[in-house]
Structure 1
Amino acid sequence: MDFGFSAEDEAFRAEARAWLAAHADSAQDRRSWERTLGAAGWIGLSWPESGCGNRTATLTQQVAWAEEYVRSGAPPRSGHIGEKLLAPTLFAHGTEEQKARFLPPVAAGEELWCQGYSEPGAGSDLAAVRTVAARDATGVYRVTGQKIWTSLAHEADWCFVLARTEPGSRRHHGLSFLLVPMDQPGRIDVRPIRQLTGTSDFNEVFFDGAHARVEHVVGGEGNGWRVAMSLLGFERGVSTLAQQIGFARELEQVVRTAVETGAAADPVVRDRIVRQWAELRTMRWNALRTLGGGGDAGAASAAKLLWAGWHQRLGELAVQVRGAGAAVGPADWTPTAPYELDPFQQLFLFSRADTIYGGSDQVQRTIIAERVLGLPREPKGVV
């Protein structure tokens, strides 16, 4: 497999790097940053020609943009759920009217999205969703239920919701994929979930008769499972390589600290550092191989297993090289002030969730066992 960057790719990379250098430092809030990206056409690089004002880019150019974005230190994206998940789903399953209504605001950075999949009791087992959407006499769906771990729900304008539209249906039957506006006071309640890090990146979302229009069902009523599974296939890809650029920066900081504290003199620590470096290089080449078409049915699950465990071990290493100081808070902290974690403390605590979100390690191993190795399916109800 030859996965290289052409002269055209490098010219594209140089343009991206120059644009980010000129604009990233001037970014204000995340929503205005999305509009800045949209105005310059940087949203939707992977889309086909859509007439939405976005640029189109080859796969290698998408990789170059993703890598340069991370290197630039630009703000975290708020619009990636609409750009990377909703848009490809609409291209695959949406009507022309749905694409005309929802794609331009995503490309312009004007409308932000969140994903209404997981529920209490229906996380890894998504087919167990209990949120219902009942169609009333006017043709409007009334959505009732609870979603959890909903990223960016507190900022989003819209949510794509997997809900049960056929009364009495079970498992993956009778589900529909609905586009639900979030601005419905009294019908939608968003409650942030406070994490170990003290931040709230995730939310609980309660729907109490929230309205969704019949023309905003994607793929047709009752076809929600097929649409939902199609969307999950878009979750991994180019973003994995950008993620690894961030990992490399974190590893560099850990190495620098190990030298400064003298921890690098410990042969055990040196061995761990070398292993982290070698595994990161291996993950990059595996990601490139997968993008180049050389992956198999379990490639995405194997990649998730690799990077989640790697990142957790990096968090542990970050604490180890700091020594006892890693457990100490800021010197100027007082009981009346908010507690601020330093970057290594943040890395250690947040990375504990890496093996859970986005499909737990157990789920990834089950996928590999059943779909790649052909092992018997695990009996339902077995703990």
Structure 2
Amino acid sequence: MTQTRRVARRVQQIRISATKLMPMLAARIGGCVSLGQGVPSFSTPPHIVDAVCRVLRDDPSAGKYSLQPGMPALRQAIAEHLTAAKGFAADPDSEVAVTVGAMEALLMALLTVVDRGDEVIIPSPGYASHAEQVLMAEGVPVHVPLRPADWGLDVEAVRAAVTERTRAVIVCNPGNPTGTVYADEDVRALCRLALEHNLVLISDETYDYMVFGGHAAPLSPASLPEMRENVIVINSFSKKYALTGWRVGYAAASAGWMGEMLKVHDATAICAPTVSQHAALAALTGPQDCVEQMCAALEKRRSLTMDRMAALAPAFTCVPPRGAFYVMARYSCTPEPSPEVARRILEEARVITVPGASFGPAGENHLRLSFGADEAELTECFDRLQRWAERQ
């Protein structure tokens, strides 16, 4: 007798994000260039590679488990960075955890904060995996539109969405997929709202280093002392230090929250890869000129992208990004939904994009474009996209 496969509801209701799916489809087609997945073209900096090679040769413990919350030296370095950069004094022993990328840190936070049926507010367009992880925690994602004119945070719209079931708000600042940087006054207003309703603010700060025009990094909710028990900070070494494949990030929160989150960490990962933790330690404590160089290159790529987007108008238009390395390009050359447009561009132009609908309802009629590729690939991408748009 054929047995019926019984898949858990929490898995049935989630899906692989389009950000990962589009490159998988492109691999089958072949000959594609990418404006898709957010992977900068840079190699891991040599001083990080050298440090890892040394530790692998000289330290037998480099191939073994670390302590469950992470290597003490790395947690200490993270805590010092948080104090210096954000004014957030986190105890490295009880308020910092090293994780398998920011993705595991986010999942730790959501599985700890969200119960079945709890609502989590996500500004839309928002990072696609935020909503999927809320669903995995058996919560309810509530998409609240950003201001379409500038992708700014609409705090009053967030306030209107709060119900007795609301448990948390997720913010990504600078934003993926919009490239927005929320105004400090809006972040402060959101923090006041969180305190008023005793909500947890899950602050995804993966792109905090990448702000254009010489502007300061955005305000972190963790820098406000009154938010101590109402904020969980998430960050990653992936983009800042070209360590995407090393899978290492971190979470920081009050000791009460962190003690509970570490239960999830223990049940899912035990610890982040020790060799990757050594890479993160070398990144955080070593020379930072590599970050400055990568940011300068990305700023040039942003300029190239804005020039090419201007040439694509009116078929494609966008709000110029202020941070990260993404553009939400609104299309008017076809009435088709964004998944179909992204599929057509992939098949007909051999260019990877990401459908805007995957980032929430407010992302429909847009495509997310990443300008992380080098200038030669970006030029080829936009040449192909220009020819495709002219045929519509």
Whether TM exceeds 0.5 here: the answer is no
| Higher-RCO chain (CA-CA 8 Å, sequence separation at least 6) | 2
TM-score (norm 1): 0.27
TM-score (norm 2): 0.27
